[in-house]
Amino acid sequence: MSAAPLRLGLAGLGTVGIGVVKIVQRHAALIAARTGREVVITAVSARDRSKNRDADLSGYAWETDPVALATRADVDVFVEVMGGHEGAARAATEAAIAAGKDVVTANKALLAHHGQSLALAAEAAGRVIRFEAAVAGGIPVIKALTEGLAGNQIRRVMGVMNGSCNYILTRMQNEGLSYQEVFDAAQQLGYLEADPNLDVGGIDAGHKLSLLAAIAFGTRVSFDAVELEGIGNVSIDDIRLAEDMGYRIKLLGVAQLTGRGLEQRMTPCLVPADSPLGQLQGGTNMVVLEGDSVGQIVLRGPGAGEGPTASAVMADVIDIARGLRLPTFGQPAATLATPVAARTATPAPWYLRMTLLDKPGALAKIATCLGEAGVSIDQMRQYGHQGANAPVLIVTHKAARDDIDHAIGRFAGTGVLVGAPVAIRIEEV
Amino acid sequence: MSAAPLRLGLAGLGTVGIGVVKIVQRHAALIAARTGREVVITAVSARDRSKNRDADLSGYAWETDPVALATRADVDVFVEVMGGHEGAARAATEAAIAAGKDVVTANKALLAHHGQSLALAAEAAGRVIRFEAAVAGGIPVIKALTEGLAGNQIRRVMGVMNGSCNYILTRMQNEGLSYQEVFDAAQQLGYLEADPNLDVGGIDAGHKLSLLAAIAFGTRVSFDAVELEGIGNVSIDDIRLAEDMGYRIKLLGVAQLTGRGLEQRMTPCLVPADSPLGQLQGGTNMVVLEGDSVGQIVLRGPGAGEGPTASAVMADVIDIARGLRLPTFGQPAATLATPVAARTATPAPWYLRMTLLDKPGALAKIATCLGEAGVSIDQMRQYGHQGANAPVLIVTHKAARDDIDHAIGRFAGTGVLVGAPVAIRIEEV
């Protein structure tokens, strides 16, 4: 073992931090065999030192202030698993870079908001920032995209990247429960963030998508340009009717670069029930990468939890120990293009659900509106009347979202619609 | 662009070689942006210069002898996509290393047979050998296992890694055709190697499994210790009856390190029909990696073809261009352990199909044999009589293979069996 040990300063001793401690302790010999050097923790920090934790921390120096930890002379790599995109996490990460440390972080929010400036600072200082754990937990998707598919022009990146949302949607589907019922159960089980809107509002998954998009398309992270729609309006009716047509509803992130610019959206979508995305159950994550040479690669695995997230953190640490060094987003931050944000314009089939008054010609009026907006119908089902009303389901052929919006705008003038129609994009996978 | 161009010498201008040429030409700017240097081809070689090829090769020097190509002064990386584990491929790879070149190869047979000696030679010379394209085509599985999961002790590696076999099995399943019918069709379509036993005998997939096992468990490649059984004996009856019990039959590779040693097998197995492996259709490949921290990661993608395989070759080339350098099998070849080859002993449920004479007590005699061998029955189905005979299907609880073999040995003495029983392992996934 000729090389000097690689010394980690670990900020954050929650689930993930303790997972990192356990791997470093349990697999010291394995890691040394794989990297040719020892990987050790020299110091740790967390808010509450007195808290009882499921690991032996007695051999490590303790810092109350993560900035002090990040700048210690006996730390080579600052490992940030505290979370939060401002405050201590940001200050400590900036301090670490300024002090010449490499950074490994699980913090998707921090990078979604400040990735460009942090990457520029790190590259100016000759340091790396690694964030495998920030996207899709244990799935090595950052590495697959940045390195494994580096010979490809990426066509599209998709993913189910928030396990809590997929847990809620699949429980609704499997048990026929309402959104609110499953949401409440998930909250009681501790499956949701303290601010649950980070999960169910699609924000957390949107952060992850914006990081994948930057790597895929060589553009600066632009989280603000992600079209976000959470799962709060997904109804059990839509889940059932979609299933009836051969689809499942997922909170699906999609990023693609088109002639109009970069489309990024994290919204409920229909996907074919028999596709890998459609088959995905519970808290598992899935990312689909499409390249011009490779075609479609699908990666599936646990998106959260102590072991999987710590596994991803350690992959980054081990890369650093092995001397594998890359710019944060795969190419120098200064060369990343500023993306033109494009509202989703790529045509897709759409699922439209509406309730019509039981009047002669009602359906014809809706069909006329669609036709006038240039939208043609692929499948239509009218279900048994509920009193004087008839639920109607339409799957369109590929249509631009503007045309769908246009058609829906015309529906109001027909006088046959009860309530507002539901429109959900069908992503072709 | 400060760094010198990285110069490739490309041996082999078949499908994959031409795919590499196309990526290098089409994505010169993209690759330069991602690596910080130009990647160029300086020379190529193939058996027949006069053959018409779907790419412009006029800018490249031509060598008839791949050894001459591998040792050219204007070549930094020898890219070997010729195939064959002896002869020119081996000689040229050895010559490249001796001449101080890095090597990128798609040649699973070469590495399965000579990986240890080639890795030792490369590491002694300070050179790397990369082989992402050798396993599961476009899926970046070597990188995922060597780097992405480097913080894990690997528990098990599984995979469907021969697209032709999966194509044959899924066509049998979907169309109710016999093995021979689909085999003949696949051969006519050019889906099989010139020696089809490389595919249907499990040899090609076994080569790949032996490479994954070496990385996963830090052991020398030991292809000779892989238990091989091809798909030639898989009958449409077994495919149908397995489906009836909720299973599908796959040519599945499994490697795991147990207290008794390294188990490596490439054999037909039953897997649950609703698992990712069970859902896999056609020529697509799938690899399942299981680590002690990460749990289960599933990778799915095209296992062959021009674009996917060239994508994997280029990932390796780009790693070299970026200065990402690792020992061939993830740790120095000299530190790889010599594995103790263990005949599969990990207990599993088994699928047993047999035909019994329609005599009173026939089934009881079979059940007694199983009980005496310590094998208990989970499910049993007796199908309608076919003349005087009754097809019987048994799924056992977990049992060691020796116990299953023992029970089957006893069956013969009962005098109630017609023909030989079929026994197929059910891999729990």
| Mean pLDDT score, B119-138 | 98
Using the predicted structure, report yes or no on whether residue B1 has a pLDDT greater than 70: no
B276 to chain A, any CB pair closer than 8 A? The answer is yes
A303 to chain B, any CB pair closer than 8 A? The answer is no
- A127 with A167, same domain: the answer is no
User: What pLDDT score does B151 carry?
Assistant: 98
Rounded CA gap, A204 and A286, in Å?
15
User: What pLDDT score does B396 carry?
Assistant: 97
DSSP A134: G
CB atoms within 10 A of CB B63: 21
User: What pLDDT score does B186 carry?
Assistant: 94
The catalytic residue among A51, A208, A250, A359 is A208
On the CB side of B12, CA atoms within 13 Å amount to 24
B297 neighbourhood in chain A, CB within 8 Å: 138-140, 299-301
Within A257-337, residue ranges assigned H as helices are 276-279, 306-321
| Mean pLDDT score, B281-310 | 97
DSSP B383: P
The last residue of a domain, from among B302, B321, B339:
B302
Closest in A34, A138, A325 to B294, CB measured: A138
User: What pLDDT score does A259 carry?
Assistant: 87
User: What pLDDT score does A343 carry?
Assistant: 79
Is residue B341 in a domain?
A: no
A337 neighbourhood in chain B, CB within 8 Å: none
The number of residues in chain B equals 429
Torsion B396-B398-B401-B403 (CA) sign: negative
On the CB side of B32, CA atoms within 13 Å amount to 15
Closest in A152, A274, A319 to B147, CB measured: A319
Closest in B300, B308, B313 to A276, CB measured: B300
On the CB side of A82, CA atoms within 13 Å amount to 29
Which has the closest alpha carbon to A133: A157, A161, A160?
A161
Torsion A162-A164-A170-A173 (CA) sign: negative
**B-proximal residues of A, 335-364, CB under 8 Å:** 335
A163 to chain B, any CB pair closer than 8 A? The answer is no
Number of domains in chain B: 3
pLDDT in tens, B17-72: 999 999 999 999 999 999 999 999 999 999 988 898 989 999 999 999 999 999 99
CATH number where A165 lies: 3.30.360.10
Structure tokens at B369: 């044999």
Q: What share of chain A is helix, strand, coil (3-state, %, to 5)?
A: 40, 25, 35
User: What pLDDT score does B2 carry?
Assistant: 63
Closest in B23, B148, B294 to A293, CB measured: B23
Q: Do A140 and B147 touch (CB under 8 A)?
A: yes
| Mean pLDDT score, B89-112 | 98
Q: How confident is the model at residue B106 (pLDDT cuts 50, 70, 90)?
A: very high
B269 to chain A, any CB pair closer than 8 A? The answer is no
| Mean pLDDT score, B385-404 | 89
- Residue A424 pairs with which residues in a beta bridge? A351
The last residue of a domain, from among A301, A324, A339:
A301
| Mean pLDDT score, B383-411 | 90
Q: Do A315 and B143 touch (CB under 8 A)?
A: no
- A248 with A106, same domain: the answer is no
User: What pLDDT score does B3 carry?
Assistant: 85
Helix axes A108-124, A203-217, angle to 10 degrees: 30
pTM attached to this predicted model: 0.96
Chain A nearest-CA residue for B336:
A33
On the CB side of A383, CA atoms within 13 Å amount to 15
- The distance of Cα A220 from the centroid of its chain, to the nearest Å, equals 17
Q: Do B140 and A297 touch (CB under 8 A)?
A: yes
CA distances from A91 to A110, A118, A327 (A): 11, 11, 21
| Mean pLDDT score, B417-428 | 94
Which has the closest alpha carbon to B162: B266, B263, B232?
B266
Q: Which helix (H) or strand (E) holds A57?
A: none
Which residues, in sequence order, are CB contacts of A370 under 8 Å at separation 6+? A376, A377, A394, A396, A407
With contact defined as beta carbons under 8 Å apart, do A95 and A63 qualify? no
Closest in A293, A308, A310 to B310, CB measured: A293
Using the predicted structure, report yes or no on whether residue B342 has a pLDDT greater than 90: no
Rounded CA gap, B327 and A1, in Å?
15
- A10 with A125, same domain: the answer is yes
Which has the closest alpha carbon to B41: B49, B55, B54, B302?
B55
- B354 with B287, same domain: the answer is no
CB atoms within 10 A of CB A384: 6
- Residue B403 pairs with which residues in a beta bridge? none
What is the signed CA dihedral for A313, A314, A315, A320, rounded to 10 degrees? 100
- B192 with B270, same domain: the answer is yes
Rounded CA gap, B351 and B152, in Å?
32
Q: Do A149 and B140 touch (CB under 8 A)?
A: yes
Instruction: Report, in angstroms and rounded to the nearest whole number, the Rg of chain B calculated over CA atoms.
Output: 24
Task: Return the SS3 of B152.
Answer: coil
Rounded CA gap, A6 and A123, in Å?
20
B30 neighbourhood in chain A, CB within 8 Å: 153, 218
Is residue B90 in a domain?
A: yes
Is residue B318 in a domain?
A: no
- A240 with A197, same domain: the answer is yes
A150 neighbourhood in chain B, CB within 8 Å: 31, 34-35, 314-315, 318-319
DSSP B136: S
- A120 with A167, same domain: the answer is no
User: What pLDDT score does A345 carry?
Assistant: 78
Structural domain of residue B363, as residue ranges?
350-425
A-B Cβ pairs (cutoff 8 Å, strict): 186
A336 neighbourhood in chain B, CB within 8 Å: none
Closest in B149, B301, B318 to A151, CB measured: B318
CB atoms within 10 A of CB B29: 9
Is residue B313 in a domain?
A: no
- B198 with B248, same domain: the answer is yes
Is residue B329 in a domain?
A: no
- A115 with A152, same domain: the answer is no
| Mean pLDDT score, B182-198 | 93
Which residues, in sequence order, are CB contacts of A162 under 8 Å at separation 6+? A199, A202, A204, A205, A208, A251, A285, A303
Structure tokens at B94: 């050895």
The last residue of a domain, from among A301, A319, A336:
A301
CATH number where B92 lies: 3.40.50.720
B294 neighbourhood in chain A, CB within 8 Å: 138, 301-302, 307-308, 311-312
Rounded CA gap, A140 and B299, in Å?
10
Distance from CA of A276 to the nearest CA of B (A): 8
Is residue A332 in a domain?
A: no
B144 to chain A, any CB pair closer than 8 A? The answer is yes
Residue to mutate among A1, A22, A25, A34, with most B CBs inside 10 A, is A34
In chain B, the percentage of residues whose pLDDT exceeds 70 is 100
User: What pLDDT score does A378 carry?
Assistant: 95
- Residue B393 pairs with which residues in a beta bridge? B353, B381
Per-residue pLDDT of chain A (429 residues; tens, 9 = 90+): 568 999 999 999 999 999 999 999 999 999 999 999 999 999 999 998 889 898 999 999 999 999 999 999 999 999 999 988 889 999 999 999 999 999 999 999 999 999 999 999 999 999 999 999 999 999 999 999 999 999 999 999 999 999 999 999 999 999 999 999 999 999 999 899 989 999 999 999 999 999 999 999 999 999 999 999 999 999 999 999 999 999 999 999 999 998 889 999 999 999 999 999 999 999 999 999 999 999 999 999 999 999 999 999 999 999 999 999 999 999 999 999 998 888 777 899 999 999 999 888 999 999 999 999 999 999 999 887 777 788 899 999 999 999 999 999 999 899 999 999 999 999 999
In chain B, the percentage of residues whose pLDDT exceeds 90 is 89
- B275 with B146, same domain: the answer is yes
Q: Do B144 and A140 touch (CB under 8 A)?
A: yes
Is residue B370 in a domain?
A: yes
DSSP string across B157-194: EEEE--HHHHHHHHHHHHH---HHHHHHHHHHTT-S-S
Is residue A161 in a domain?
A: yes
Rounded CA gap, A115 and A112, in Å?
6
User: What pLDDT score does B138 carry?
Assistant: 97
For chain B, give the mean pLDDT.
95
* Between B251 and B342, the higher pLDDT residue: B251
B52 to chain A, any CB pair closer than 8 A? The answer is no
CATH number where B400 lies: 3.30.70.260
| Mean pLDDT score, B368-384 | 93
- B101 with B128, same domain: the answer is yes
A230 to chain B, any CB pair closer than 8 A? The answer is no
CA distances from B120 to A13, B241, B317 (A): 41, 48, 20
- A247 with A378, same domain: the answer is no
B87 to chain A, any CB pair closer than 8 A? The answer is no
